[in-house]
A and B are shown apart, each in its own frame.
Chain A
């Protein structure tokens, strides 16, 4: 893991080129690589997911109102979430690649061209952070996991939002600035073993067309010399990631437009050390310096502490706490109590823990950096642990309930057609026993802690080469504390409740 990899070493060629050639490249794998290099591969992946989404929406509105019997609730809250984290862990951001929300907007853009650029004041993660927190809040408040109809509304709303945003605003505005699932995937994919990157930086140094970001248009020129309305032959990166200066997976949707656009066949899906990019400082294409991005820091905090909050909300003590608050305040409705818990978990707790760690680090190494600067620098070291918590939580639901989709689908077909075309529902099919999944959950958390400590150490060594341990110790303490909290949550009895009993 290298902490101080310069931001644009890909221009330098030399050993980097040899390194790139030696690394495993998914695009060079016989069948899979050939498929991914095909320009229609993304659409080919999106179409079945879109069709599945249509089935889910139909089942949400016209199927059974019982979540365990409904494909919308089951696939959204068990398989989709579990699938995302496992694919991120073992491969990369392939969900964004197969994202069904992009397909309708893609087709619509053939007839309607977006008119505006995304507002300058909103070119940050602010809207996505609000939506991220909003989804977490409404998930708890409205018991979305138990409500197929509300889940269907969420899916339709998602399609509508992606469609409208990208029909009004140019480029991939929805993915980059709005989509909360996308932001989750961006941060999660920092832990992925694969990244879309250049094979030989030296080739980029000699490239003058920069098609990977500009794209390619049909030959010819308009009278004013601009690209004008010449048809696009191949899009460049719609998220403004310039491959030679791109670092890691942040903001990368794995759309592979850069792969198809590069005239030198110099972009691949290469293997790398998961989490390495979190230890890298400096400027990144289209993102800038993470150490200066307050919005990325807030997103990271929501990602990490939201993981704990989301898991905490599933266990018995949260209901005792809610009832205690209800008794103390006299409140008989849930949303203000939930709001209080959210403020506690996403604002107060991070402010105390991370602010305290930053203050101790600053004192320990007599740094001239502000508290905020230290906090921004170290906060990203918590991403591996946060991802470990999401993985443990969503992995639990997925692994213990993976096969439940089979009887639910069998039942849906039986009800829809009146015939058992998929066979009689096998309701006894579930998944792995909890006793088997629990050690896996602890393993995910342990790996997350290890990654967090490694990244934290690298950041500390960059901040204070002579007093690394002093700079690192407060963050190690916070990391272990969060790890212990997550372990405690996992050992608590599950109590998946949708009812709020006040008083």
Chain B
């Protein structure tokens, strides 16, 4: 393929993804208060966003392959193959949210002993990691399935659509989830008198 043809094809998608990044960035930029109230919360953010990318883009590409292999057809999009994919993705997301919470608070705790980082709030970090991941995963699964479905109905190759769409809106959805859940967690923990 010609150099500039390849350039043009990727350029537009990347600019869209960058604009999605600005949207996500605006959410993160508004989180300074939560970041101050929950020491160690920042550690969750790259981890949750990164894992979201890894878990959902692989789900998207599996569903794309399933379409190509004829395992999922327009008449039977919600069949057993789809159910196994949704189940597997959900199990992965829940396991990883737990592991991420443990890694984040444990590493913060160990580092806080040397004084380079503030000592973390275990409870808040575990709650935020698990609840935020659970809720955003449900939204992102629905979102990914919808993209595959719509691509399918329009006669487009889902392989070309899921990756860029998730890249553009996935971080925004994930950060919005963390933003909302951390705000709610701080409010609830404060109300029940667990000191932050």
Q: Real complex partners, A and B? A: no
Question: Which A residues are closer than 8 A to B by beta carbons?
Answer: none
Question: Which B residues are closer than 8 A to A by beta carbons?
Answer: none
